[in-house]
Amino acid sequence: MNYVLACLTFFNSGAKHITIKARGRAISRAVDTVELLRRAFVKDAALEKISIGTEQVERAEGQKSNVSTIEITLAKP
């Protein structure tokens, strides 16, 4: 709910577009945030763009690992 409240604050302050970004296990939280916003709070918000990708990060042990990423852009008319 904290992320939903933050997005609502941006929309209420006059923002027309917001971008929600997430990596790894937080991707499901980002998707849930967007869906809750669209279904309950800002029903006229439209999905403008969804980008997915992979980032290569270096772990503490020195190994490289691939992490999935997502960026969801919402627009309020």
> What is the residue range of 37's domain?
2-75
Task: Please tell me the total count of domains within the chain.
Answer: 1
Pairing of strands 64-75, 17-23: antiparallel
- Quick one: 38 exposed, middle or buried, by C-beta within 10 A (0-12, 13-18, 19+)? middle
Query: What CATH number is given to the structural domain containing 12?
Result: 3.30.110.20
> What is the pLDDT at residue 11?
94
> What is the pLDDT at residue 22?
97
> What is the pLDDT at residue 77?
86
What phi and psi values does residue 49 have, to the nearest 5 degrees?
A: -160, 140
> What string of pLDDT tens digits covers the 77 residues of the chain?
899 999 999 999 999 999 999 999 999 999 999 999 999 999 999 999 999 999 999 988 889 999 999 999 999 98
> What is the pLDDT at residue 21?
97
